[in-house]
A and B are shown apart, each in its own frame.
Chain A
Amino acid sequence: MSKRSVFGLMVAVAAVFVASPVFAQEAAGAAAKAGDVVAQWSIITAGFALAIAAGLGALGQGKAIASAAEGIARNPSAAGEIRGVLILGLVLIESLSIYVLLISLILFFLKPFGG
């Protein structure tokens, strides 16, 4: 979990660093083309998308783990089955965050909108 959080934070910080000279340029009066604006916002969007995905994914996984821990505490003999279901559910939740990570990486490194 912390892996994605740290990575999301880093992408967001990097987005701020990428964005700040851009805003400085605009303040200096350089006329930005429409494509440049889209490219800048795609980078910013990548960071925020990953942050939102990591946060909400962590919420969902936390709920799942809390319920599983409750279930195991109530009925320790079912621990094996609960663990299997828990891992499967966690992975299915996690894969949603992974999709957002991939989209963010595409926006950030491959730059389909230029920039």
Chain B
Amino acid sequence: MEKFEFPLLIVHWMNLILGPIAVPFQKLIGHPLVADAHGNVIPPFMVMVILVVLGWTLLGLFIKSRLSVENPGKLQIILEDAVSGLVSMLEQWLGPQGRAYLPLIGTLGAFIISCNYLGLFPGFMSPTTSINVTVGCAITTWTFYHLNGFRVQGVFNYLKHFAFPPGVPAFLAPLMLVIETISHLSRVLSLSLRLFGNIFGEDLVIAILAFLSPWWLPIFPLPMMLLGLITGGLQAFIFVLLSIIYLQGATHVEHADDHGGPNHGSEHGTHGHEHGDARDMANMATV
């Protein structure tokens, strides 16, 4: 993979500026100083993360200074649409209190989508092509939904659901405990590897096609970059959607009369099936 990597100019500049600050800090926390092949102390993905965070901070400060109710600018309208779309998605999955989770979920979405799109600009790379960034995002989400599960359901009630999920007979508790633990742990793996694999594969294909094209006509990767526009947004959306679904699974409060177990569940299922059938029949009749 090393032959597809080039020293990026912005990484070099960033290391010239921030390197002298980073070196004493790394010594202070006792972390061994490792410079890469190009002599950079700050790895490229970290530089890109710093750029993304700086960019969003500056954009936020800029937008905040000129927010207006009577005469909103184009950028304000776009951002308001994005936020209201996210809020409606949160409320659709999590109910009326879903808006409370907007800060973290929205930040994750904005961070990941800008990380994905940053790699399409020449001279930059996607920070999400580094597994460190995606695992960081996944662990943040994972910790967040578990903490909210504890907060909403209470520590004991939340832990109880691992061994005794509603609708499962009690004698299966040891089996369910193992299965649930594995499934929750694998969420970190799947969240991080999905994002990493998509963006990394995308960038690798772009790099390979760029190598295949002649130097005077470097247009071969353009279709793949067009696909990258779709994939980058879609993967950020998927990360946000899965975070919301996990949050819903953790904060969904069971009703007190829901301990009926399988009986209640099957009753509910049959009802839903009947309802679906009725709707189906009505539609077929209409057709």
Which A residues lie at the B interface, using CB under 8 A?
A: 2-4, 6-7, 10, 74-75, 87-88, 91, 94-95, 98-99, 101-102, 105, 109-110
Contacts and interface: CB of A to CB of B under 8 A. Distances in A.
A98 B234 CA distance: 15
Contacts of A3: 201-202, 205, 224, 227, 231
A91 B194 contact: yes
Interface of B: 1, 190, 193-194, 196-198, 200-202, 204-205, 208, 224, 227, 231, 234, 237-238, 241-242, 245, 279, 283-284, 287
Given A3-B201, A3-B227, A99 B193 contact: yes
A4 B194 contact: no
A91 B190 CA distance: 11
B205 A98 contact: no
A102 B202 contact: no
Nearest to A77: B283
Contacts of A101: 197, 201
B227 A95 contact: no
Contacts of A102: 193, 196-197, 200
Tell me if A's interface is mostly helix, strand, loop or mixed. Answer: helix
Given A3-B227, A87-B234, 11 more contacts: A7-B201, A7-B205, A75-B279, A87-B237, A91-B242, A94-B194, A94-B198, A95-B194, A98-B197, A98-B201, A105-B201
B197 A99 contact: yes
B230 to A, nearest CB: 10
17 contacts: A3-B205, A3-B231, A4-B201, A74-B284, A75-B283, A87-B237, A91-B194, A91-B234, A94-B194, A94-B198, A95-B190, A95-B193, A95-B197, A98-B201, A99-B193, A102-B196, A105-B204
Given A3-B227, A102-B193, A74 B287 contact: yes
Nearest to A1: B227
Nearest to B202: A3
Nearest to A110: B1
B10 to A, nearest CB: 25
A6 B205 contact: yes
Contacts of A6: 205
The 9 A-B pairs at the shortest CB distance, nearest first, are namely: A98-B197, A95-B194, A109-B1, A91-B238, A102-B197, A75-B283, A101-B201, A7-B205, A101-B197
B287 A98 contact: no
